[in-house]
């Protein structure tokens, strides 16, 4: 097409009607603002939370790099460092670990870092600088606080560092520090290259099997590719390309590994997104559709005087752009603002990062996405009358009236209005149902078993690989006994290992549990699809399952949940159990609370003693011919017990580490000690008399800091506190989101009614001209609104009820922290307001209209 | 030589019992420079005929030939552009764009074509029609007669070969009607334009060179 210089004419045609019909466009802009607000606040919160979760994963992993190689020698590092496919590559060299009483609760590793590596590992000094001189060091504020060293650059101090298995006191000067995150697996201490070369010289030969327990002097390389797609494949390609040894220790940053999302979560998010988009789309579409009559007439007029379809589309596009240019930025700012206000509240309740928490992570793509979606909706909605006008002859367009149903009402418009109103209410009702269904009572009860729980400081920390399971010393128990207000004390002992079965018992397991599809699925999940048969064959050969044996006293046993027992009772008869002939057994559990009994009450099992005196080193030959030795109790004596009951051990009491079967036994304390010799409890739970919580809290606080810093305690109050702020978060966020949605729904309704009156100002003037009084007109408008109201009421009630009973019930029953119950409260709250609007808006709108004379209104559209 | 020709035009609305034959096999031919009036009662099909002649509406069957071009073969925008360049329309209801000024309304079709308005010609037309003082006001501020003059000015502005007028005086009093018709006739002569005008008024119809009568969708020459 030749370039036609008709811009000014088109501009005038596009923009002048906006000036003369400003009310209509204000309503359109409001609709665009609301829709954009809806999308952008949603995207901001979701996007920022995802980013925060990713960041938190990175902090736990200890770096933001895509992948890394561990334990390289210098020549090996040289092989990869210049690879052209790598965007960045940097390294650190491991020196040792701080071995100091003061940092027992803040494990601190000592390394030399390149500045870039420090940045990637979140430990670049925020105050001060990287270490240069041999004795300079950078620490985290957490380590500094633990050491009791002041946060002042240049402070001199000494601490003991273990290098190559040897602990020695070194003198340092603080050259800088960074803010440490307690969720990190370890805090970092950054030393100078000179210090590292002096005490942990860089290794020059590839690592061998014998050196696997010696980390000193090895290079850990971290690198980024140009993007995070298929990092695993790219890393393998890097190994092949550079010729670095095939068995190099590779770490893929799982913060970048997708697919960790549950399909049901994706499904739910998808449904929510579609509903939100649907509601937003309908809000805009609705308003445009209501204007179709006047628009069609205008387009028809333009067509009769020679405007081509193409020019018509340009005019429409220009108007749509005008509406968007004003509406979308306003909506974005408001949406991001609301998101920003809500974020800290939401973020505080999730254990993600603990520094810079609740920060807005604005992703340009997300914002563009929200803006683009609003814009597209506007264009599509605005284009509808335009497309219609360009497809019919000018005269038909001029005479356009809507297709009307049998009763003379425009059918399609009616359906769209009702649908858009109902959908907004449906979203509101669903969000409210979800939020109000939040209940952590069930969840918390498994977290709170007693008033206090005392254990090793690292026992319940999932990031620590070796934990002390005999941390409760006699001293502590004696001191506890002397404390006033103690009601009951429960000791929990544990001996980890394997459970062995005799032939008869094993055949029951072999033909019961091991035949179950879910068991095979779990084995496949652990060992791969191909190894299921081999693994089961190995189990049948050994006749053993992994599992721990607990010892518990009367108080602890009383906290167990009885699933099935010999006598059908749901309580354990302590006298009988304590006789020494009985044992309790747990169940096999898999996803979604799928449980199976290993054995049933009345069955008999053998328990082998784990008394250290029976321990012997057992030698075994590996596939490659190598012989290794491990401690075992093959020849220890065992005793037979009858299963008294099948029980569940509450989460707060057990060792929170799980293997594939987890066939756990529970013996009475005395019998446990009888069998295993001298043993110390893993955990002690304490109930106090009411009113004594405060003093017990103080005593435990001082005991676990001053007397035995290796111990840590949890209190019911602190868990409850956590729970309370979590449910507060839900209330605040739920309320704000509900208010936004309710406002959007109500404004949508008001918009609809006002537009339908504005659009018909000529029709109304005609009615007035033939003698319909203002009062009669108002009444008929209110009646019309009432029909909308009744339909909205019916449709939204039906949809909300369906949603309640299907999707919501399904989701909320899936998630432990939610309790489904039927609710239509938001509808009940909103519908009267809508009813009021129906009465008020027509009156106001009509009064404004009637300020102009009938003739005036008849003349111009 | 004919500039405008219709062959066997039919236009049906509805179907079955409700079938209305607005035009039923109409043929006519108009010479260049001729002033033809088409007269008929309300519902006789005269407006429909004019819409067909101008390509504003599609006939059920039959062809319209303008300047040797069969416009039934033109589609959408092609037809629109052809119409914009060849035909000026004057409507009973004026059809002025309410949001732009009188002057902008007059030059709108030219601008839509991406051409520069011939300023002298337009000033001349405006002067002839006596609406110089209203150039910069919005149409809603004008009386009916004034609005129709603007519509005539718009039809003349691009110097189209044919002017189609649909009851141009239908909304006007008799004095104003006479003025407007006089103007239409003089400008037509002045710019050598072919005019086809629709009316239900015998007196007005007599001002044309030739009168065609239409009744129930049929033509009586």
CB contact under 8 A, A306 and B81: yes
CB contact under 8 A, A19 and B51: no
pLDDT at A715 over 70: yes
3-state secondary structure string across chain B:
CEEEEEEEEEEEECCHHHCEEEEEEEEEEEECCCEEEEECCCCCCHHHHHHHHCCCCCCCEEEEEECCEEHHHCCHHHHHHHHHHHEEEECCCCCCCCCCCHHHHHHHHHHHCCCCCCHHHHHHHHHHHCCHHHCCCCHHHCCHHHHHHHHHHHHHHCCCCEEEEECCCCCCCHHHHHHHHHHHHHHHHHCCCEEEEEECCHHHHCCCCEEEEEECCEEEC
pLDDT at A129 over 80: yes
**Chain A residues with at least one Cβ partner in B under 8 Å:** 2-6, 8-10, 12-13, 16-17, 19-21, 301-311, 390, 393-396, 398, 859-861
Give the tokens for residue A462.
């999932």
The CA distance from A33 to the nearest CA of chain B, in Å, is 26
**Chain B residues with at least one Cβ partner in A under 8 Å:** 51, 56-58, 76-77, 80-81, 83-84, 89, 91, 95, 97-100, 104, 107-109, 111-114, 140, 154
Distance of CA A560 to the CA centre of its chain: 30
Closest in A3, A311, A859 to B112, CB measured: A311
Residue with tokens 């190689």: A69
Greater confidence, A770 or A358? Answer: A770
Could you report the per-residue pLDDT of B13-26, keeping only the tens digit for each? 877 777 888 888 89
Task: Spell out which residues of chain A touch residue B113, defining contact as CB-CB under 8 Å.
Answer: 4, 6, 306
CB contact under 8 A, B112 and A308: yes
pLDDT at A269: 65
Query: Chain A: residue nearest B144 by CA?
Result: A859
pLDDT at B213: 92
Q: Is A642 helix (H, G, I), strand (E, B) or coil?
A: strand
Residue in A667, A661, A659 with CA at minimum distance from that of residue A643: A667
Greater confidence, A50 or A473? Answer: A473
Q: Binning pLDDT at 50, 70 and 90, where does residue A348 land? A: low
The CA distance from B212 to the nearest CA of chain A, in Å, is 23
pLDDT at A405: 47
**B12 phi, psi to nearest 5 deg:** -110, 140
Query: What is the rounded distance in angstroms from the CA atom of residue B121 to the CA atom of residue B109?
Result: 15
Best-predicted range by mean pLDDT (A358-362, A847-851, B25-29, B88-92)? B25-29
CA A346, A351, A357, A361 torsion-angle sign = negative
CB contact under 8 A, B112 and A307: yes
**A769 phi, psi to nearest 5 deg:** -60, -35
Query: What is the rounded distance in angstroms from the CA atom of residue A156 to the CA atom of residue B16?
Result: 105
Residue in B175, B200, B170, B198 with CA at minimum distance from that of residue B92: B170
Query: Chain A: residue nearest B104 by CA?
Result: A9
| Chain A interface, best mutation among B13, B56, B58, B155, by max A CB count within 10 A | B56
Greater confidence, A815 or B198? Answer: B198
Query: What is the rounded distance in angstroms from the CA atom of residue A36 to the CA atom of residue A38?
Result: 5
Task: Spell out which residues of chain A touch residue B91, defining contact as CB-CB under 8 Å.
Answer: 304
Query: Chain B: residue nearest A394 by CA?
Result: B56
3-state secondary structure string across A142-203:
HHHHHHCCCCCCCCEEEEEEEECCEEEEEEEEEEEEECCCCCCCCEEEEECHHHHHHHCCCC
Residue with tokens 């209330």: A731
CB contact under 8 A, A303 and B114: no
**A479 phi, psi to nearest 5 deg:** -65, -40
CB contact under 8 A, B76 and A394: no
Could you report the per-residue pLDDT of A582-603, keeping only the tens digit for each? 999 999 987 667 888 999 999 9
Q: What is the DSSP string of A652-668?
A: TTS-S---SS---EEEE
pLDDT at A623: 65
pLDDT at A259: 40
Query: Chain B: residue nearest A18 by CA?
Result: B99
Q: Is A220 helix (H, G, I), strand (E, B) or coil?
A: strand
Q: Are A329 and A27 in contact (CB under 8 A)?
A: no
Distance of CA B63 to the CA centre of its chain: 18
Task: Spell out which residues of chain A touch residue B23, defining contact as CB-CB under 8 Å.
Answer: none
Q: Are A60 and A121 in contact (CB under 8 A)?
A: no
pLDDT at A211: 58
pLDDT at A861: 42
pLDDT at A787: 87
Could you report the per-residue pLDDT of B34-85, keeping only the tens digit for each? 999 999 888 888 888 888 888 888 888 999 999 888 887 787 778 888 888 8
**B80 phi, psi to nearest 5 deg:** -60, -45
CB contact under 8 A, B99 and A17: yes
Cα–Cα–Cα angle for A26, A30, A35, rounded to 5 degrees: 150
CB contact under 8 A, B89 and A17: no
Greater confidence, A671 or B174? Answer: A671
Q: What is the DSSP string of A661-698?
A: S---EEEEHHHHHHHH-S---SEEEEEE-TT-HHHHHH
β A166-178/A127-128 pair status:
antiparallel
Residue in A599, A608, A609 with CA at minimum distance from that of residue A645: A599
Query: What is the rounded distance in angstroms from the CA atom of residue B194 to the CA atom of residue B184?
Result: 11
pLDDT at A605: 92
Closest in B56, B77, B114 to A394, CB measured: B56
The CA distance from A333 to the nearest CA of chain B, in Å, is 33
ipTM for the whole predicted complex goes beyond 0.90: no
Q: Is A486 helix (H, G, I), strand (E, B) or coil?
A: strand
Mean pLDDT of A269-288: 73
Give the tokens for residue A200.
């942990």
Alpha-helix runs per DSSP H in A392-502:
394-398, 411-436, 441-447, 474-482
pLDDT at B221: 65
Greater confidence, A22 or A185? Answer: A22
pLDDT at A355 over 60: no
Task: Spell out which residues of chain A touch residue B84, defining contact as CB-CB under 8 Å.
Answer: 305-306
Query: Chain B: residue nearest A315 by CA?
Result: B112
CB contact under 8 A, B97 and A6: no
Query: What is the rounded distance in angstroms from the CA atom of residue A88 to the CA atom of residue A96?
Result: 26
Mean pLDDT of A329-338: 88
pLDDT at A210 over 70: no
| Chain A interface, best mutation among B59, B64, B79, B80, by max A CB count within 10 A | B80
pLDDT at A349: 56
Torsion of CA A166, A168, A171, A175, to 10 degrees: 30
Percentage of chain A exceeding pLDDT 70: 83
Mean pLDDT of A494-517: 88
Could you report the per-residue pLDDT of A721-777, keeping only the tens digit for each? 766 666 666 666 667 666 777 777 777 777 777 777 776 777 777 777 666 777 777
Q: Is A322 helix (H, G, I), strand (E, B) or coil?
A: helix
Q: Are B51 and B57 in contact (CB under 8 A)?
A: yes
Task: Report all structural domains of chain B as residue ranges with CATH numbers, in order of start.
Answer: 2-220 (3.40.50.300)
Q: Binning pLDDT at 50, 70 and 90, where does residue A263 land? A: low
Greater confidence, A860 or A580? Answer: A580
| Chain A interface, best mutation among B22, B83, B99, B155, by max A CB count within 10 A | B99
Greater confidence, A379 or A403? Answer: A379
pLDDT at A726: 62
Query: What is the rounded distance in angstroms from the CA atom of residue A284 to the CA atom of residue A135?
Result: 66
Cα–Cα–Cα angle for A38, A41, A46, rounded to 5 degrees: 120
Query: What is the rounded distance in angstroms from the CA atom of residue A472 to the CA atom of residue A704?
Result: 11
**A381 phi, psi to nearest 5 deg:** -65, -40
Say which range, A433-442, A444-453, B53-62, has the weakest mean pLDDT.
A433-442
pLDDT at A513: 86
Give the tokens for residue A45.
């919160």
The CA distance from A283 to the nearest CA of chain B, in Å, is 27
Best-predicted range by mean pLDDT (A704-708, B28-32, B178-182)? B28-32
Cβ atoms < 10 Å from Cβ of B183 = 20
Could you report the per-residue pLDDT of A132-161, keeping only the tens digit for each? 999 999 999 888 988 888 899 999 999 989
The CA distance from A320 to the nearest CA of chain B, in Å, is 18
Query: Chain A: residue nearest B85 by CA?
Result: A306
Give the tokens for residue A343.
């974020």
pLDDT at A718: 74
Give the tokens for residue A150.
């002041």
Give the tokens for residue A304.
């009769």
Task: Spell out which residues of chain B touch residue A4, defining contact as CB-CB under 8 Å.
Answer: 113-114
CB contact under 8 A, A12 and B112: no
The CA distance from A406 to the nearest CA of chain B, in Å, is 17
Distance of CA A220 to the CA centre of its chain: 30
Closest in A3, A9, A393 to B111, CB measured: A9
CB contact under 8 A, A390 and B76: yes
Task: Spell out which residues of chain A touch residue B104, defining contact as CB-CB under 8 Å.
Answer: 9, 12
Query: Chain A: residue nearest B112 by CA?
Result: A6
pLDDT at A1: 41
Residue in A71, A57, A176 with CA at minimum distance from that of residue A118: A176
pLDDT at A260: 46
pLDDT at A356 over 60: no
CB contact under 8 A, B56 and A395: yes
pLDDT at A172: 93
CB contact under 8 A, A305 and B109: yes
pLDDT at A2: 43
CA-based end-to-end distance of chain A: 34
Alpha-helix runs per DSSP H in A489-608:
503-511, 517-527, 532-542, 554-557, 574-577
pLDDT at A61 over 80: no
Cβ atoms < 10 Å from Cβ of A830 = 24
Q: Which residues of A523-557 are buried (b: 16+ CB within 10 A; e: fewer)?
A: beeeeeeeebeebbeebeeebbbbbbbbbbbbbbb
Torsion of CA A572, A578, A582, A586, to 10 degrees: 50
Residue in A845, A39, A789 with CA at minimum distance from that of residue A421: A789
CA A434, A440, A441, A442 torsion-angle sign = positive
CB contact under 8 A, A13 and B97: yes
């Amino acid at each position: 097409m030749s370039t036609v210089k008709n811009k000014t004419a088109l501009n005038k045609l596009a923009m002048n009607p906006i000036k003369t019909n400003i009310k209509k466009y204000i309503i359109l802009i409001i609709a665009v603002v609301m829709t954009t607000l809806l999308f952008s606040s949603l995207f901001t919160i979701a996007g920022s939370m995802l980013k925060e979760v990713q960041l938190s994963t990175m902090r736990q992993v200890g770096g933001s790099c895509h992948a890394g190689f561990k334990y390289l020698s210098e020549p090996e590092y040289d092989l990869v460092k210049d690879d052209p496919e790598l965007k960045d590559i940097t390294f650190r060299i491991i020196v040792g670990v701080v071995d100091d009483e003061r940092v027992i609760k803040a494990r601190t590793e000592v390394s030399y870092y390149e500045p870039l590596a420090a940045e990637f590992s979140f430990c670049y000094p925020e105050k001060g600088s990287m270490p240069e001189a041999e004795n300079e060091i950078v620490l985290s504020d957490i380590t500094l606080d633990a050491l009791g060293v002041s946060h002042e650059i240049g402070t001199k101090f000494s601490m003991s560092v273990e290098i190559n298995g040897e602990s020695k006191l070194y003198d340092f000067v603080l050259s800088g520090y960074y803010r440490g995150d307690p969720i990190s697996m370890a805090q970092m201490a950054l030393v100078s290259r000179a210090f590292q070369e002096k005490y942990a010289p860089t290794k020059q030969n590839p690592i061998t099997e014998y050196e696997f327990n010696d980390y000193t002097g090895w290079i850990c390389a971290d690198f980024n590719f140009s993007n995070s797609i298929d990092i695993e494949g790219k890393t393998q390609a890097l190994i092949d390309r550079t010729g670095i040894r095939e068995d190099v220790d590779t770490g893929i940053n799982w913060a970048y590994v997708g697919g960790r999302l549950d399909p049901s979560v994706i499904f739910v998010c998808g449904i929510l997104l579609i509903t939100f988009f649907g509601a937003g789309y309908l809000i805009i579409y609705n308003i445009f559709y209501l204007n179709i009559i006047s628009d069609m007439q205008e387009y028809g007029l333009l067509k009769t005087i020679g405007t081509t379809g193409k020019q018509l589309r340009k005019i429409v596009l220009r108007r749509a752009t005008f509406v968007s240019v004003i509406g979308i930025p306003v909506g974005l700012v408001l949406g991001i603002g609301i998101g920003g206000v809500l974020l800290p509240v939401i973020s505080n309740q999730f254990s993600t990062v603990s520094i810079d928490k609740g920060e807005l992570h604005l992703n340009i793509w997300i914002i563009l996405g929200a803006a683009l979606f609003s814009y597209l909706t506007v264009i599509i909605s605005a284009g509808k009358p335009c497309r219609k006008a360009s497809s019919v002859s000018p005269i038909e367009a001029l005479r356009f009236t809507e297709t009307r149903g049998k009763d003379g009402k425009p059918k399609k418009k009616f359906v769209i209005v009702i649908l858009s109103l109902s959908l907004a209410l449906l979203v509101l009702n669903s969000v409210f149902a979800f939020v109000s269904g939040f209940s952590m009572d069930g969840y918390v009860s498994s977290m709170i078993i007693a008033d206090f729980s005392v254990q090793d400081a690292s026992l319940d920390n999932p990031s620590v690989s070796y934990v002390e399971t005999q941390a409760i010393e006699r001293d502590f128990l004696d001191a506890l006994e002397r404390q006033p207000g103690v009601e009951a004390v429960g000791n929990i002992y544990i001996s980890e290992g394997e459970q062995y079965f005799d032939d008869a018992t094993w055949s029951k397991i072999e033909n019961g549990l091991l035949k179950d599809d879910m068991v095979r699925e779990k084995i496949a999940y652990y060992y791969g699809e191909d190894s299921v048969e081999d693994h089961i064959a190995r189990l049948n050969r050994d006749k053993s399952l992994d599992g721990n044996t607990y010892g518990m006293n009367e108080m602890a046993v009383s906290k167990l949940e009885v699933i099935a027992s010999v006598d059908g009772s749901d309580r354990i008869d302590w006298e009988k159990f304590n006789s020494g002939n009985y044992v309790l057994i747990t169940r096999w559990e898999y996803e979604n609370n799928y449980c199976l009994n290993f054995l049933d009450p009345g069955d008999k099992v053998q328990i082998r003693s784990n008394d250290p005196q029976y321990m012997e080193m057992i030698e075994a030959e590996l596939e490659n011919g190598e012989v290794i030795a491990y401690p075992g109790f093959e020849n220890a004596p065992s005793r037979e017990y009858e299963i008294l009951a099948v029980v569940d051990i509450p989460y707060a009491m057990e060792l929170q580490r799980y293997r594939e079967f987890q066939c756990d036994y529970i013996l009475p304390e005395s019998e446990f000690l009888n069998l295993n010799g001298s043993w110390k409890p893993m955990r002690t739970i304490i109930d106090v008399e009411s009113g004594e919580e405060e003093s017990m809290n103080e005593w435990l606080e001082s005991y676990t800091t001053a007397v035995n810093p290796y111990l840590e305690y949890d209190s019911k109050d602190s868990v409850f506190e956590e729970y309370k702020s979590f449910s507060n978060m839900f209330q605040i966020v739920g309320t704000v989101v509900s208010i936004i949605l309710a406002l959007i729904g109500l404004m949508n309704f008001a918009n609809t009614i006002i537009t339908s009156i504005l659009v018909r100002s000529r029709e109304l003037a005609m009615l007035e001209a033939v003698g319909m009084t203002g009062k009669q007109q108002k009444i008929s408008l209110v009646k019309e609104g009432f029909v909308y109201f009744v339909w909205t009421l019916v449709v939204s009630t039906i949809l909300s009820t369906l949603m309640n009973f299907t999707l919501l019930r399904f989701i909320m029953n899936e998630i432990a922290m939610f309790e489904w119950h039927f609710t239509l409260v938001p509808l009940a709250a909103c519908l009267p307001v809508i009813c009021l609007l129906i009465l008020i808006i027509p009156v106001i709108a009509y009064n404004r209209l009637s300020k102009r004379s009938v003739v005036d209104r008849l003349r111009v559209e | 030589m004919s500039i405008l020709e219709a062959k066997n035009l039919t236009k049906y609305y509805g179907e079955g019992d409700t079938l209305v034959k607005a035009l039923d096999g109409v043929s006519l031919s108009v010479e260049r420079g001729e002033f033809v009036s088409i007269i008929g009662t309300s519902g006789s099909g005269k407006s429909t005929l004019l819409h067909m002649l101008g390509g504003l509406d599609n006939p059920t069957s039959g062809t319209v030939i303008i300047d040797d071009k069969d416009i039934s073969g033109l589609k959408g925008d092609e037809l629109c552009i052809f119409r914009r360049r060849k035909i000026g329309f004057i409507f009973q209801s004026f059809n002025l764009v309410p949001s732009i000024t009188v002057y902008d309304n007059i030059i709108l079709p030219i601008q839509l074509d991406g051409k520069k308005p011939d300023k002298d010609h337009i000033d001349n037309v405006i002067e002839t029609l006596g609406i110089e003082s209203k150039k910069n006001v919005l149409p809603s501020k004008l009386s009916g007669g004034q609005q129709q003059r603007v519509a005539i000015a718009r039809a003349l502005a691009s110097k189209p070969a044919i002017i189609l007028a649909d009851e141009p005086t239908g909304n006007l009093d008799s004095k104003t009607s006479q003025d407007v018709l006089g103007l239409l006739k003089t400008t037509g002569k002045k710019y050598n334009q072919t005019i086809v005008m629709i009316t239900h008024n015998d007196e007005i119809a007599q001002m044309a060179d030739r009168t065609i009568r239409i009744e129930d969708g049929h033509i009586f020459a």
